[in-house]
């Protein structure tokens, strides 16, 4: 009885794990299809330095102040990548439209987020609308410069 029960539990965990991997992949595919609708002003290479005020304001723990981050947004399947000089490392993912002048930044943590954006000349500003990941907010909220 105990052995059969453990097998059943393992199978249940395996099925749950497989479902947790398939469902996000399917939603990621839908996001990729939507990514082609990104406005042209967002496309390109952007850079910004994370300040100690950014880190302190949101309570970030994995992003050190002074990190210089580079964000590249293009029209590929994984249409965005970000890399930082300290702590965070690099990620590939998707920047997907979320309404007029809003995007989801699906890089790093999979938690849902929404950021407003505005481009003026060589500056891109992301403003958090909704995000529960302090490290992502410390990196993205603020002014980026076109590289």
Contact call for residues 82 and 94 (beta carbons, < 8 A)? no
Domain residue limits at 115: 34-146
**Strand 68-73 to strand 80-84: parallel, antiparallel, or no bridges (unpaired)?**
antiparallel
Compute the radius of gyration of the chain from its Cα atoms. 18
Q: Phi then psi for 119, rounded to 5 degrees?
A: -110, 130
Give a yes or no: residue 4 inside a domain: no
Domain presence at residue 64: yes
Strands of the chain (E only): list them.
44-49, 68-73, 80-84, 90-97, 102-106, 113-120, 123-131, 142-146
Number of domains in the chain: 1
Mean pLDDT of the region 15-42: 50
- Above 90 in pLDDT, residue 96? yes
Distance CA 141, CA 137 (A): 5
For residue 110, is pLDDT > 60?
yes
Whether the full predicted model's pTM is greater than 0.85, yes or no, is: no
Residue 21 lies in a domain: no
Examine residue 66 and state whether it is found in any structural domain, yes or no: yes
* Domain contains 7: no
Both structure tokens of 89: 């490392």
């Amino acid at each position: 009885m105990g052995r059969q029960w453990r097998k059943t539990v393992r199978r249940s965990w395996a099925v749950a794990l497989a479902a947790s991997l398939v469902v996000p992949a399917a939603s990621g595919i839908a996001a990729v299809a939507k990514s082609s609708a990104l406005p042209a002003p967002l496309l390109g290479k952007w850079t910004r330095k994370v300040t100690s005020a950014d880190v302190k304001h949101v309570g970030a723990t994995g992003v050190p102040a002074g990190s210089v981050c580079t964000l590249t947004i293009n029209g590929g399947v994984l249409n965005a990548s970000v890399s930082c000089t300290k702590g965070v490392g690099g990620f590939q993912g998707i920047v997907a439209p979320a309404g007029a002048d809003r995007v989801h930044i699906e890089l790093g943590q999979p938690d849902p987020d929404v950021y407003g954006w505005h481009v003026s000349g060589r500056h891109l500003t992301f403003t958090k609308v909704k995000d529960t990941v302090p490290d992502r907010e410390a990196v993205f909220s603020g002014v980026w410069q076109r590289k």
